[in-house]
Amino acid sequence: MTVLTVPRTYLSGMMRHSVRQPGEMLWVPTGQHASAERMEWLAREAIPLPAQRDQPGLLAWGAASPDAWSARAIPEHADGWICLGMDGLAGRIWGAVRVGSQQVPLQEVRLVGSGMYRIGGPTLDRPAFGSVPPHPEQAAFWFERWSRTMGALGRQAWRRLTRLQVAIVGLGRTGSAVAVTLARLGVRRVLLVDPDTVERHNLGEMDGVDEQD
């Protein structure tokens, strides 16, 4: 198994840089640990791509299109690469590492920090966090997105809230507003029930509908 272990704060820094400077590569210095079961790369804090790379490391960048990473080969001066998904691919990570003379996919990413989460076997067909929507704390991107809400509610209360399964019957003025508010708070499972059809007079009072509905 090939594993990348990275502190959550370092991954957050890489994601922020990818948003500010799309496509600009970073250099992630690494240490390496090998055992009979796995090859593990231990990531340090990413730095701007240096002209001279005197220590082992990985190339890292963000991309919103699979074309930006699918054909990547590992350069001679690097031990591998990682690509951080952006926009519609947010929350996914792809990578490849050099094992001997071969380039093999990165099979697992371990986030060091609260929760010690693992991201396994990401591909385009399978999200990095599996088929069930990830808990927002499982990705540094989502963790930052709801940091203000966690600060207002308290972390434990917010975690319980996001794990609720909520059904809303009636999606008029109040129901649609409640649905949008829950989504903005991070609630992941909301069942919406309303047998009525959207008419023009509903557009002024309902959230999430427009003329096309």
pLDDT in tens, 117-148: 555 544 333 333 333 344 444 455 566 677 78
Q: Does residue 162 come out as left (phi exceeding 0), alpha (psi in the -120 to 50 range) or beta?
A: alpha
Helical spans, DSSP H, in the chain: 8-20, 140-145, 147-153, 155-162, 173-185
Q: What is the pLDDT of residue 146?
A: 74
User: Does 3.40.140 match the CATH number of domain 2-138?
Assistant: yes
- Does the global pTM surpass 0.95? no
Cβ neighbours, 10 Å, residue 102: 9
Taking alpha carbons only, the member of 34, 33, 38, 32 closest to residue 58 is 32
For the chain, the structural domain boundaries read: 2-138, 147-202
Q: What is the pLDDT of residue 142?
A: 60
> In this structure, are strands 108-112 and 2-7 parallel, antiparallel, or unpaired?
parallel
* pLDDT string in tens for the chain (213-residue length): 888 888 888 888 888 888 788 778 899 999 888 887 788 889 999 988 877 767 789 988 887 775 666 556 777 788 888 888 777 666 678 888 888 888 888 888 887 876 555 555 443 333 333 333 444 444 555 666 777 887 788 777 887 888 788 899 988 888 888 998 888 888 878 888 888 787 777 777 777 777 776
HSE toward the beta carbon, residue 187, CA cutoff 13 A: 17
**Per-residue pLDDT tens over the stretch 41-56:** 899 999 888 777 677 8
- For residues 110 and 196, give the distance between their C-alpha atoms in angstroms, rounded to a whole number: 46
